[in-house]
Amino acid sequence: MIKIDAFTSHQGLVVPLDRANIDMDQIISKQYLKRNEKTGYASGLFYNWRYTYDNEPREEFVLNDPKYDDASILLVRENFGCGSSWEHAVWALLDYGIKVVIAPSIADIFYYNSLNMGLLSLCLNKDDIDQLFEWAENTNLNLMIDLEKQIVKKEGEDWSRSFLIDSYNKEALLHGVHEKDHIDVTLNNLTQINAYEEQQVDSPLT
């Protein structure tokens, strides 16, 4: 099994991809889905948007702008990761260097796939997303994401927003749980589980 890195906080450059309803087929091209490895997908990320049919970079696509070469935070519009959100989509983002996805809404399957693999996906309200897009499109926008405090903060300014994440996935990310081995997190609550089971034995259903 693969050990995912613990995620406590991350500071990085934001790349603004101003599109909504981005589905799995757009995140990772279908020809990459035949592979079983979990690395080597960076070149396939948004392949049909990044490249022409002749495999030439499309200059107008934001990820081909050199100023975003070191970006590690992806800013998108609503319903990110919709459709058949396979694990390959998350692998491609991670392999490219994306550590955090920020959107007003994220499709459920993609959301939980991403958390299971160590990619933090989080939601802010539409007004905040609009503000971040405005900043990102006019200057280099750097954000600090603090998972412990559940805060997104703009570097150098008094702007911060809180985000929600359930305690189970938060703890898994903070401690770097094995991908596919979240049972370890459950076993941390073994005392409470045993107490509950004993209560059921002592108070059987009638």
Q: What is the pLDDT of residues 24-60, one digit of tens each?
A: 889 998 888 777 777 789 999 999 999 999 999 999 9
Whether residue 4 lies inside any domain: the answer is no
Confidence of residue 183 (pLDDT cuts 50, 70, 90): low
Residue range of the domain that includes 85: 9-202
Residue 159 belongs to some domain of the structure: yes
Please give the tally of structural domains in the chain: 1
Query: Does 125 fall in a domain?
Result: yes
Q: What is the pLDDT of residues 7-28, one digit of tens each?
A: 999 999 999 999 999 998 899 9
Q: Is the pLDDT of residue 185 over 90?
A: no
CATH of residue 96: 3.20.19.10
List C-alpha distances in Å: 41 to 97, 114, 132, 160.
Answer: 11, 15, 27, 33
Q: Tens of pLDDT along 134-150?
A: 999 999 999 999 999 99
Percent of the chain, pLDDT > 90?
Answer: 65
What pairing do the DSSP bridges indicate for beta strands 120-123 and 100-103? parallel
Nearest Cα to Cα of residue 21 among 91, 110, 100: 110
The answer to whether residue 1 sits within a structural domain is no
